Every structure is written in C-alpha cells, then in structure tokens.
Amino acid sequence: MAKTALELTAKELQRYRPYRETDEREILKRWEQAWEVARAAARLLRERFGAHRVVAFGSLARREWFTLWSDIDLAAWGIPAQDFYRAVAKVTGISPDFEVDLVDPESCRPALRRVIEREAFQAGRANSG
C-alpha cells in the first residue's frame, strides 16, 4: 500500500532526499545572503522613504522554513501612501538573486497583519537561526 509523505519514517524519507545534508549548507548560505539583502532593503526604506519600522516575516524570519527557493517578505511602517509603490519598485529591484515582497501592514488584511506581527523579525538588526 502506498504511503503519503507524511506517513514516511525519517529513514524512508531520507531515501527521497539523500542530498539534504549538502543542501543544508547551501540553504544556510542563501539564508545569510537573503538577510544581507533584507538589511539593505530596510536601510533604503528608512533612508529614502521614511519607514520607521521594517520587519522580515515568513521563511526569512523562520530559518526552518527557508529553502533554496524562498523569497524575502518585508513589512514596513511609516512609508507615505503616495510613495509606497515607488518603494515597492526600489526593493523589488534591489537584488537579482531574490524576489522581494513589500507589504504595508497598516493597510493589509487583518489576517496578514497578525501573521506579520507573529513572525516579525526586525530587518536591519543582527539575525540568528
């Protein structure tokens, strides 16, 4: 009888992911690079667009969720409404290696705002796994 991925034991799962140990080093390196981009984006948002708080959320803020294909999710408070889409354009183009998504937590759906607050990790500060 076939099993789903959730039903596999750790040993059985390892047969499907023998590369996992090597990938972990690559993932850690990419995660560190993503934080460099996030800190640069936070600086830009503060200096050019007046953001008073910038946080990372999603897989960047939760190391165990980060993969080789993860993007960078940022939320920024304090950017004037008339400047928000210019700020989005600037951070979207900040890195050729990462997709960067910017959210205005003051105008997003309440459910997303709760996720941001729960997962938020201050961008521009030291990070740890």
Domain limits, the chain: 16-122
In angstroms, the CA 80 to CA 58 distance is 24
Residue 66 DSSP code: -
Dihedral, CA of residue 35, residue 67, residue 26 and residue 31, to nearest 10: 10
pLDDT for 124 equals: 54
Please name the fold of domain 16-122.
Answer: Beta Polymerase; domain 2 (3.30.460)
Whole-prediction pTM: 0.78
pLDDT score, position 95: 96
pLDDT along the chain (129 residues), means of 10: 70 60 83 97 98 95 90 97 97 96 95 91 55
Give the per-residue pLDDT at 63.
Answer: 87
Task: Report the pLDDT value the prediction gives residue 126, as an integer from 0 to 100.
Answer: 41
| HSE-CB for 58 with a 13 A CA cutoff | 18
C-alpha 85: how far from its chain's center?
Answer: 19
Q: Are 45 and 92 in contact (CB under 8 A)?
A: no
